Amino acid sequence: MAFNKNNIKIHEHFKVVPSSSTQTTTIPFTFFDIFWIKFHPIERIFFYTLPNSQSHPSFFFQKLVPILRSSLSLTLQHFLPLAGKIVWPSESQQPKIQYTTNDGVSLLIAESDADFSHVIENSPHEASLSRSFLPHLESTDSSASIISIQITLFPKSGFSIGISTHHAGLDGKSSTMFMKAWAYLCHKIIETKEESPTLLPELEPLFDREVIKDPNELGVTFTNSWTEIISTIFPSEKGNEHSLNILHFEPKLEDSVRATFNLTREDLNKIKQMVLSKWEFYDTNESYSKPQTLSSFVLTCAYSLVCYAKAIHRADMEKEKFSFAFTVDCRARLEPPIPSNYFGNCVWGNFISTQPLDFIKKDGVFLVAKCIYEKIKMINENGVLEGAINDGYDKYNYLINEGFGVFGVSGSNRFGVYETDFGWGRPKKVEIVSVDRGLTIGFAESKDGNGGVEIGLVLNKHVMDLFSNLFLEGLCSN
């Protein structure tokens, strides 16, 4: 069995079914789920180092893989819908998740001869490399998988777990919860030799869709909006609106590099002081007075995205109009609030109210930070779904038609992805690979736990050089 052109050798392909499950489960979609029905998969990789003896192929495949596989099966017993499919029956107005006996999750076992240290380095390296360690997420006209997983060995170095998730099935908080549950059970099996350890209460998912109220029938509106958008942007899909094929947002890989940048707590404080020092000069009869502090999210997004926009603009002067949309977790913001362990989608997207050229102005970081802060404050005061229709599909269509570059963010520094320990230590690196499908930054807490954050992005090589210079120069000058 030889390595293919992507440095990958496929050893086995399993369908992992939930342990001892005989029940059938059907879960309806909420309006939160429907919003993402055609969205590209969210793809993340966890990289782990191993001692030399444990990363030898014979030991790894004969000892470690069975533990990972059996603990995955045990975990799926708690997360049954993830082993099912998204379906959209012809007689149904909306899609749903359906799990039947013997449904399972695709698990690919692979080996790579790539240099592990090169794969996990922060400095720019070929964007296509990480895609070798990710599984394909199956979607057809009639059904779509919710997750798929690939475990890849790097002999004498470590291994990775790549997971592709269907955004209509679960949001970032839920996918992280699933990975932590799997890691916890795997760790327990290694530690205690128990075959079926008990899952921590905080990692037990709540699938009850009745907790999501939809008095304004947003679900129907969103379904109709998708139908209209699909027919307009993809005329060939007209008449096939119930198709569950995920839309093609191809990764930008040619002449592109992937890199990770860190903002320490000290860096964030520098940016915060710079932003707050400018507040009085601009704040003339505004709705919101100068804040006492700013969150890491506001500071990181404002600083990183301004560097991103300026790098794109310097490479192509015609690209000068930008906007930013971000999602907020609605669990604690709904009326009434819903439990934090609610599993599915409970995030909503919001556009900030910047002017078209704000991202490339001299004071761009301040202008963008102020708009993000004010948007979050407005959400907290007026409700998370205020203006949901106009601030979603319609706003996005308008911006795209007007030639805006629309930035996004994936992940969160609150997820604690670096706590995901399967029993062989914390991840050496966690990477959101799907940022290569758009103008998106990946967002996570700093792996050293010092209160900083890390961002990942994929750019054309020349644009990445410009971004890196802007990013580092800005921190030195503040």
Helix (H) or strand (E) holding 78: helix 65-78
CA distance 469 to 259: 13
Nearest alpha-carbon partner for 88 in 226, 218, 238, 242: 242
Of residues 329, 363, 421, 465, which has the active-site annotation? 421
CA distance 465 to 332: 40
Cis bond upstream, residue 51 (ω within 30): no
Cβ atoms of 388 and 118 within 8 Å: the answer is no
For this structure, is 421 an active site residue?
Answer: yes
User: Crossing angle, helix 172-192 and helix 65-78, to 10 degrees?
Assistant: 130
**CA neighbours within 13 Å on the CB side: how many for 152?**
30
* 339-348 core/surface letters (b: 16 or more CB in 10 A; e: else): eebbbbbbbb
Helix (H) or strand (E) holding 190: helix 172-192
Of residues 40, 166, 167, 313, which has the active-site annotation? 167
- Number of neighbouring beta carbons within 10 Å of residue 395: 18
DSSP per-residue letters across 370-401: HHHHHHHHHHHHH-TTTTTTIIIIIHHHHHHH
Nearest alpha-carbon partner for 155 in 34, 54, 36: 54
Residues marked active site are found at 167, 421
